[in-house]
Amino acid sequence: MIARCAQSPAPIRGGHRQAGFTMIEVLITVLVLSIGLLGLAALQATGLKESQMAYMRSQAVLLAYDMADRIRANPFQAASYVYDSANYPNALPAGVAGTDLTDWITNELNLLPDAAGEITSPSADNYTITIRWNETRDPAVVDTDCPNDDSDGKDLQCYQLEVAL
């Protein structure tokens, strides 16, 4: 049998061995981890913002379809539903159409920021329901083009629905 002797490790200069991590390694690890956590926070913030924007768009669609259903339910007074938010509340018709418009405007103002709506009738028995809102809540956003081109970043968001009776 051959006996093996355990070899002792080679001596290290200075008489001691390194144990653990150096300060620079710890600082680099903390830096990398911090950058990763900041990235996650930015991702979360962007996700929340986009989620809120999607919610506003879905509310605009629901409001437009709500008014379309109201117009279809009252076809004999459909012409009374033509409305521009600049005239509110002075020019609302009496009767069911006036009540429908009041409910719609109240919902519109409560669900969307800086909302405005209009209902036009480009031809007999055809109606266009337009809803605009300030998705960014930026007071500098003023353009009311619909559909918007948003080339300058100052357009309100809008949704249009064409309704035929």
The tens place of each residue's pLDDT in the chain, 165 residues long, gives 566 656 666 655 655 666 777 889 999 999 999 999 999 999 999 999 999 999 999 999 999 999 999 999 999 988 889 988 776 666 678 888 889 998 988 888 788 988 888 999 988 889 999 998 888 777 776 666 676 666 666 678 889 999 998
Cα–Cα distance, 48 to 123 (Å, whole number) = 41
- pLDDT recorded at residue 143: 66
Q: Rounded to 5 degrees, what angle do the CA atoms 103, 69, 164 make?
A: 125
pLDDT at 63: 94
Given this model, what pLDDT does residue 50 score? 92
| Total-model pTM | 0.73
Cα–Cα distance, 23 to 163 (Å, whole number): 69
Strands 157-164 and 126-133, how do they pair? antiparallel
Question: How confident is the model at residue 59, as a pLDDT?
Answer: 94
